[in-house]
Each structure stands twice: as structure tokens, then as C-alpha cells.
Amino acid sequence: MRLSYAPYILKFKNPAGTSRGVLLNKPTYILKIWDENNPEIFGLGEASVFPGLSPEANGRYEYKIVELLSNIALGRPTDLAHYSSLQLGLEQAIRDYVGGGKGIYFPSSFTEGEKEITINGLVWMGSFEEMLDRVEEKVLEGFHCIKLKIGAIDWEKEKALIEGLRLRFSKNELMIRVDANGGFSPENVMSRLDFLANLDVHSIEQPLKKGLLNETAEICKVSPIPIALDEELIGICTTEERQSLLDIINPQYIILKPSLCGAFSGTSEWIHLADQRNIGWWITSALESNIGLNAIAQFTASIKAEGPQGLGTGGLYTNNFSSPLSLSGENMKFNPSFIRNRPELNNLDWRE
């Protein structure tokens, strides 16, 4: 077997505001696994590294891809325990190849076009007016669950935004999730959670920054709204570490990004451990291109995830790849008649 890879820069249609600054583009790597005797059949995967968030996003990332490439050619294993995104890309490529290179990673009623996935509408950080407009758009498009990224504007304006939403839409009409990205402090977190609870906010992701285990555990005991762990899961690689984290904090939910949580294999283990402890969960994408998003959506459908999932729509970028996924309101659909765009893939900068 052989592995090739192609670096690719995804370009945002509009600047994307995050807690780590404004993004104009995002690097990713497309992986292709194939047999020298039959190169026309190949499996595709995406190693979607996330600068500023992925622990492996350092100057040696591409060297690790080359190491993986060489080891596959020689039939040797590669330790990818601390390279979650690369592990995910490899798992995708292998699954695709085994399935005949047709872009079917997890066959299900979803890939047959019979079932859909409900997703939440993500509202990016921005000014008060921008965020309000984006919420209005999502509601008009048919979303019944929105996720607000907070922390970009001051808390008083964010309070006014959420208050305004709840005045217009009851909790039965609109589920509101918020993501603080670790933006609250131990000193102000409880007063803010009380405020959010009074407005029937469904849950809050990562209210405190990663690493404050005891403080987060205490908040999970007394919070008036459910707490979901997100960044706290990143870089936790072994079964023992995962068990320990869940036992110490005991959150109400965990948010699973396969690119950051150990690929499909690691995400499946997180789910197993969470289910044992009656901890809820949902799946979230992490700015992948349509190649990675397609595989993550198929995985999400195959495990019968419940409730609105945090999957992207593929519409963020000006130079995304063609996709079998489409959106009708809040429902993601798969087109089983989709055929990959071979010229699009052949034009990538493949390296061996």
C-alpha cells in the first residue's frame, strides 16, 4: 500500500471570529491511500489540523505525515496517539479504500438517502448587530437549535442578545446553546450561569479554561444549567486519562470533535465511557473541508446520535470540494448518486 498527501489552504468567504482571533484561511491535508498495482481505486481522508487548538499543530506536523507515508510503504506502524487529526485522516482513507473508493465511510440509511441528521445553527462571533442578523437568518432558514459563540463582545451586550432572543422565541420554539470557549472566570462564572438559566439556555460549553479540573468539577455539581466539556477533552489520549477526567469533573455533556478527540476510534471510546457514566454527548465538526465533513457526518449517522449535532455545512469556504451533503433547513441530507470530481482531486499538489 502507498500513501500520498496534498496540503491545501481553505479560504473563508467571510472572516470567521473565534475566541482565538479572526480566521481568514485554514490549513488542511488531504490523504490518499492506494495500491501501486491498481492506482485508480483509492481512499480519501482529511487530516484537518487546527492551529491554536490542535496540540499537534506545530512546525513538525508535515514531517509526521512523511513519517506515516514512509511507514505505510514499508508496512510499519506509526504512533499517532498525539496526532488526532492525522489519525482521523488515515482512518477515513482506509475505510474509503476498503469500501472501493466511493466516498462511503460508514454505510447506513443516511448514505442511502433515507435518513437525515438534524444540526444546530452556528452563530459566529461578531458585533452585536452581526450576531443578531445571523441568528435571524438561522431561524428563517428553519433552525430550531442555535449555538452562540460568546466572548467576542462584552458580556452586557451578549446578555442583551440572549435576552432579546428569548423574548421572541420560547424554549419550546428555539433551543439556545452557548459556547464560552473558556472565557469565564471562577469569580464570575456562577452569576453568569444563573443568568443563562433564567433564560432557559440549554447548555454551556467550556465555561472555564482548560485545566481547571477541580473548579470545573465544582461548577458541574452546582450549575443551574448543564455544563459541556469541549477543549478539556483535547490531548487526552489514553483510556485511563479519559476515565479519570470524566470521573473527576462528571460533566452533564461532552462535545466530541473527531479531529481533536482521537479520530473515530477515540471518539467511540469517549462515547462508551460517557454512556457508562450517564453523561450526554453530541458530535461536532472542526472546520474540515467537505471531504472530512462528509466522513464525520456519516460516522454521526451510523452511531445514531440523538438531538441536534454540531456539524458544519461546508459553506464557509470559497474553495471547498464538491460534496454529497446538502442542507434543507436544519436537516443534513446525503445524495447517494454523488460521484467524486476526479479532475478536482487530480489538480491537488500530491506528494509521495
Active site residues: 149, 257
Q: Which residue has the cell 449535532?
A: 309
Residue 189 near residue 212 (C-beta atoms within 8 A): no
For the CA atoms of 296, 298, 299, 303, the dihedral, rounded to the nearest 10 degrees, stands at 140
CB-based burial of residue 267 (10 Å sphere; 0-12 exposed, 13-18 middle, 19+ buried)?
buried
Residue 291 near residue 48 (C-beta atoms within 8 A): no
